[in-house]
Structure 1
Amino acid sequence: MDMPNSTQGGLTGGQVQGFIDDGFVRMDNAFPADLARRCRDELWAATGLSPDEPQHWTQPVIRIASMATPAFVQAANTPRLHRAYDQLAGQGRWIAPRGLGTFPIRFPSPDAPGDDGWHVDMSFGDSADFMDWRVNVKSSGRALLMLFLFSDVGPDDAPTRIRKGSHMAIARELLPHGEAGATLRQLSAGGWSSTAGCPQELATGAAGTVYLCHPFLVHAAQPHRGTRPRFMAQPPLLPKAEFDPALPPSPVQIAIRKACGLTF
């Protein structure tokens, strides 16, 4: 059995390899359940709704842009998570989160949420049209995609859908675009067909679970078929700088190399 290679309880060697191969790793108890409850209480207040008045839950999704109160900063910066950030993005090569966001809070609803298509999160751009934002093969501007669960999420509670191993196909698609990268419009033009055969996983877990994902992982929302709202954040982990070829490659970069045969 693989043991965590840090007293702070980061990831095992097997988990790091799974991240390289599959594009994500699930960390149970990444932050305390009581802290998740405190954050959830703040999110309820931000929505203007109440957990005791479901008659007012009339929208399938409400988005909260960001939260930077002490509870959210603490949730994003536990010793276990810091160790895992080092292990996946490279030691000291990331910026400690100063908050979390965005929060797509999903409510039980018969209505389609309207935002449940497959996609990759874009990393840089300045256009008012988000379809023109970009991602490049070096993943400039993003070290990880992260999914923080602030409520218990089961199969019926609108868990994020993940295409396992899809980061490899996206890396190969990005390679010809070089430093400039590709826009979301370009990447989505083919309907993400290169990843259609990837096995689907669901981002389920107890409150306090965090999924650490490769920036190129293809994922999607889905309708909420359960009974209690789902609270989740989907922030990036930001890099301190561009990739430095003088440093050993991180698992994020190793996955890209494995997909493309790159030598950067």
Structure 2
Amino acid sequence: MPRSSQFGLSEAQVSQFIHHGYVALEDAFSRALARACRDILWAEMGLSPDRPQEWTKPVIRLGFMTQRPFTEAANTQRLHDTYDALAGKKRWLAPTGLGTFPVRFPSQQDPGDAGWHVDMSFGTDHPNFMQWRINVTSTGRALLMLFLLSGVGPDDAPTRIRVGSHHMIARQLLPRGAEGMTLQELAKHGFAETKGCEEVLATGPAGTVFLCHPFLVHAAQPNRGAQPRFLAQPPLLPKGEFDPALPPSPVQIAIRRANGLGL
């Protein structure tokens, strides 16, 4: 087990990340920053928290934002320490903002995007997103992250997480080497191999961040609450390609253990 308490996480938290595929940090950034981010997103959508009659869509997606509140929220000292602890010390690029944003509104409509999936990390220039790719060394992605910009309870469209599912994806990816697999290939059977995993919900107050293994299987769901749910789902980008000469990070330890390679 790497000595990670020096980077702001306890050994228990690092162990949870390796075994379960995620760790949640409350107060990773301030609620004042979360509120400032929401204000910008409301303006971008041309909507208002005071005019719920205009919330007519189940979800509105917004792109990457680089305004100061987003950059500051992604770069607190606590988060930098956690990036070091999970992805490897200084093996990641400081985020230049946050995005994308699926803003989910209270609705009885099917949002049409609530299927189980893994986020792909390279080949994203292909026009068909089902052809985007992921490989066993997680080229192009150091972490999957969920930034809660509003308080999220069980009814507020929390992301669903299949605990430990990253191990199963790692085993599927190993034989495919650097080429990896497409989302279409991974989703061929609807991620049936992960159906037996315990499910948890990404809930918490505004300012909470879920830092997840890049292979974690997760899904959206409709908002059955009373208020919109604001969330950013950016990747943490790696500084370089996988280097076997460096001590393995917890991300890499989880992959190795899933494939019976020790550590």
Class of the TM-score when normalised by the shorter of the 2 chains: over 0.9
Whole-Å separation in 1 of the counterparts to 2:175 and 2:113:
29
Structure 1 residue 20 corresponds to structure 2 residue 21: no
Tell me the equivalent position of 1:108. 106
Identity %: 66
Whole-Å separation in 1 of the counterparts to 2:262 and 2:185:
25
Whole-Å separation in 1 of the counterparts to 2:157 and 2:118:
18
Whole-Å separation in 2 of the counterparts to 1:116 and 1:33:
27
Tell me the equivalent position of 1:57. 55
Q: 5 Å matches for 1:210-221? A: 210-221=209-220
Relative to the length of structure 2, the TM-score reads 0.97
Equivalent AA in structure 1 for residue 121 of structure 2 = S
| Secondary structure class of the residue paired with 1:154 | coil
Residue 11 of structure 1, CA deviation: 1.3
Gaps in structure 2 of 5+ consecutive residues: none
Equivalent AA in structure 2 for residue 223 of structure 1 = P
Equivalent AA in structure 2 for residue 48 of structure 1 = G
Runs of 4+ in 1 over 4 A off after TM superposition: none
Whole-Å separation in 1 of the counterparts to 2:146 and 2:138:
18
Q: 5 Å matches for 1:164-183? A: 164-183=163-182
Equivalent AA in structure 1 for residue 134 of structure 2 = V
Tell me the equivalent position of 1:144. 143
Equivalent AA in structure 2 for residue 250 of structure 1 = S
Residue 135 of structure 1, CA deviation: 0.1
Cα RMSD of the aligned pairs, angstroms, is 1.2
Q: 5 Å matches for 1:120-131? A: 120-125=118-123, 126-131=125-130
Q: Deviations over 1:90-119 (max 9, x none)?
A: 000000000110000000001000000000
| Secondary structure class of the residue paired with 2:255 | helix
| Secondary structure class of the residue paired with 2:216 | coil
Whole-Å separation in 1 of the counterparts to 2:42 and 2:82:
29
Whole-Å separation in 1 of the counterparts to 2:137 and 2:260:
13
| Secondary structure class of the residue paired with 2:23 | strand
Whole-Å separation in 1 of the counterparts to 2:261 and 2:191:
22
Length, aligned pairs only: 259
Whole-Å separation in 2 of the counterparts to 1:263 and 1:69:
43
Equivalent AA in structure 2 for residue 70 of structure 1 = R
Whole-Å separation in 2 of the counterparts to 1:246 and 1:164:
30
Q: Deviations over 1:64-104 (max 9, x none)?
A: 01110011000000000000000000000000000110000
